[in-house]
Amino acid sequence: MPSEISALSLIHRCRRNRRTAAIRDLVQEVRLHPADLIQPLFVVDGEGEPEAIESMPGVLRYSIPRLVERCREVADLGIPAVALFPKFDPSLKDAEGSHALVRDNLLYRAIAAVKEALPDLLLIADVALDPYTDHGHDGVLSADGRTVDNDASVARLTQLAQLEAEAGADWVAPSDMMDGRVGAIRAVLDGAGFTDTGILAYSAKFSSAYYGPFREAVGSLQAAGSAHLDKNTYQLNPANTREAIFDALLDEEEGADVLMVKPAGPYLDIIKTLRECTDRPVAAYQVSGEFAQIHAAARLGWLDLWRARDESLLAIKRAGADMILTYFAADWAATYQ
């Protein structure tokens, strides 16, 4: 310090706690751990080589044998859970999503194969009709075709959840945003003897542009035949906090074991508010578009990929998520020490 400048007399100098890496480590408030993460994985029929998904660099669609290998790698990295998403051939899709109820379809075979090979890996299966419908919606349409019929959709979704449980899913994850689906699924599971099967509810799921790459990955956009699939009559308005919390707490009342917020990064305030409103575990889904956004900027040389990735995940943890679904899970865990 030049001699003519006298030291400020400050009681607190915040920079003292940032001075060295050792101090910064000691004062760090939240940390990520591989055990916080859930790896989403895509599965396709056949025996072929894994298929790339253009807008999701490094994310592949696996045949069942390759999926099992991938799940083993994920488990070996200390990640406790995977969430499976099937991509069906368009020829199997119809307006009712009938293929969802075919007992030996790709998803159920995949669940059974992974469960048999890796019984300790927690297996999560999505409950929604979008991989099976030719219009790409998460449920069945009303008679006039103008909206998604809530109660008729719930009736099918409960059957889908039961088939997933029968195949060996540990948790079923309704991502459809129909009203009453959590309670209905709980009742059907309990009635069929699956009292130990958990429900990870997509409780505050927003109608988001950030699902675009996922819709490419599972083919729901191609099925809909349009560039934009409007789910505004069932997914939440991005402007609404109170409505999101009200809807999420209904899932808690209906018996959800874990409440999820989705997307994660643009909705950190919702994660934090929900965390304060419930004693149930809170999950957050860093969705395909959040992943793609970081990759795209990195590819242009505009962001540092790993630093942006780590910061995005830490921010979700800091907001209050107990667990994070992220396409970065395995990559992140591989660099964890």
CA gap 51, 145 in Å, rounded: 34
Q: Which of 205, 231, 272, 317 is catalytic?
A: 205
Out of 105, 153, 158, 175, the only residue in the binding site for ligand PBG (CB under 6 A) is 175
Q: How many CB atoms lie within 10 A of CB 105?
A: 19
Nearby residues of 272 by Cβ (< 8 Å), 6 or more positions away: 319, 320
Span from 69-77, 87-95, 124-132, 328-336 in contact with ligand PBG (CB under 6 A): 124-132
How many degrees, rounded to 5, is the angle at CA 122 between CA 100 and CA 183?
55
Which residues within the stretch 275-334 sit at the binding site for ligand PBG (CB under 6 A)?
Answer: 287-288
Return the residue of 36, 96, 130, 170 that touches ligand PBG, per CB under 6 A: 130
AA identity, residue 113? A
The correct pick among 128, 157, 270, 333 for binding ligand PBG (CB under 6 A) is: 128
Tell me which stretch binds ligand PBG (CB under 6 A): 3-11, 41-49, 122-130, 157-165.
Answer: 122-130
Is-catalytic flag, 205? yes
Say how many C-beta atoms besides its own lie within 10 A of residue 232's C-beta: 8
Q: Is 231 a catalytic residue?
A: no
Q: Which is nearer to ligand PBG, 159 or 277 (CB)?
A: 159
Paired residues of 82 in beta bridges: 39, 123
Q: At what angle do helices 150-167 and 181-191 cross, to 10 degrees?
A: 40
> Of the listed pieces 183-191, 208-216, 266-274, 307-315, which binds ligand PBG according to CB under 6 A?
208-216
Residue 211 is a binding residue for ligand PBG (CB under 6 A): yes
Q: Which is nearer to ligand PBG, 128 or 189 (CB)?
A: 128
CB contact at 8 A, 80 and 123: no
# binding residues, ligand PBG (CB under 6 A): 12
Residue 122: is it exposed, middle or buried by C-beta count within 10 angstroms (0-12/13-18/19+)? middle
Shortest Cβ 266–ligand PBG spacing (Å)? 12
Closer to ligand PBG by Cβ: residue 215 or 275: 215
Catalytic residue IDs: 205, 262
